[in-house]
Structure 1
């Protein structure tokens, strides 16, 4: 295993935690824009219709995927700048 990959492991874990927090905040804001409500529906919300639950899940998944990819790619680029090699 290359040194850059080993060095990136703790950075990647920290970036994963940060991306989760960013994505969670972004989803809350997006849901307020979509539905005008403070809380997104949960799969076990008995009073919410299927369409609303599935829409919330799709939006949340898309936001998390985009934020995760953005943060991971930025972290890899920063690692390349510091170490001179790509961590992947």
Structure 2
């Protein structure tokens, strides 16, 4: 999509805005206020690379294997005898 002129122009405006806010890309060492990261699936999903990126940015301790969320079980509500 970045080869679409309109999308590329919007992307450049976003990068400029983030830079003005002190949020710079990870490959530039980040900024004084935060680090800007993004991923691309242009050449397919690269989970190992995305995991490595997250480890570089937020630290290995904060990254763990994704696990399926436990299913939420709730008790059935008692029927209200006044409702049809």
TM-score range, shorter chain: under 0.3
Larger radius of gyration: 2
Greater RCO, CA 8 A, separation 6+: 1
TM-score (norm 1): 0.26
Would you tell me which structure has more strand in proportion to its own residues?
2
Would you tell me which structure has more helix in proportion to its own residues?
1
